[in-house]
Amino acid sequence: MYIYGKHPVRELLETSRGKVIDIFIDRPENRENYKFDVKVVETEILDKYSDNGNHQGVVAQVTPFQYANLKDLYNCDVVAILDQVQDPQNFGAIARSAAAFSIPLIIPKDRAVGVTGTVVRASAGLIYQVPVVQVTNIARTIKTLQDEGFWAFASDMGGDSIYESKLEPKTIIVMGGEAGIRKLTKEKCDFVVGIPTHKCVESLNVSTSFAIVASEFRRTNPE
């Protein structure tokens, strides 16, 4: 995978340096900006690696993302399930919050974005600090985790206020994608909580909602 742009590459080096294979630049005089063995190439090469994106003269090649195993999460105090998040920018922003609050992520293999270069870039490389599991069936995964002692709550409009709910360890945070949580997924959850907002706001972006919910969980359950 390739990450491009001065700021994303700089953040990647700061957060996940060990995941960087090569850094390519198109101006030799910029070598000193990177404490890394950079390679100077033609601008056309950077255009190719970045799919003609705004690379600003630098592209980093990173290692392929290694997904975790569901069993690795059984002893976690909290996990988050993302039900069909398809926007890589949203997923990247969620991953950044997940790293901040130490919350592993579970995503479906189908009809959802996986870990791509765009996701890594949107997360500022922090997705490499987060265990991410891909599963074939979200509803079955919720049941499996419940059998391991977890309680699942769906974060959705109309639920009980998250600030009045008792969020305890062994919690599954279930967030819907851009279209919301699917009916079958919500039915598998033990309860539904919502984020109180002013009546002029119909709903919040999934990445914003996740950051709020994750923060509230960690406030009541510090590591």
Work out the pLDDT band at 213, boundaries 50, 70, 90.
very high
Considering the chain, what is the average pLDDT of its residues?
A: 92
Beta carbons of 160 and 192 less than 8 angstroms apart: yes
Beta carbons of 57 and 25 less than 8 angstroms apart: yes
What kind of fold does domain 70-220 have according to CATH?
A: Alpha/beta knot (3.40.1280)
Q: Sketch the domain layout of the chain as residue ranges.
A: 2-62, 70-220
DSSP class of 205: -
pLDDT in tens, 180-206: 889 899 999 999 998 887 777 777 889
CA distance 17 to 22: 10
Of 6, 45, 53, the C-alpha closest to 26 is: 45
pLDDT in tens, 45-93: 999 999 998 999 999 999 999 999 999 999 999 999 999 899 999 999 9
Q: Is the pTM of this model over 0.85?
A: yes
Look at residue 200 in the predicted model and tell me its pLDDT: 74
Q: Strand locations in the chain, DSSP E? A: 2-4, 20-25, 39-40, 58-62, 78-83, 105-108, 132-135, 151-161, 171-176, 191-194
Which contiguous run of DSSP H or E holds residue 213?
helix 206-220
The yes-or-no verdict on residue 150 having pLDDT over 90 is: yes
Work out the pLDDT band at 158, boundaries 50, 70, 90.
confident
Q: Which CATH superfamily is domain 2-62 in?
A: Ribosomal protein L30/S12 (3.30.1330.30)
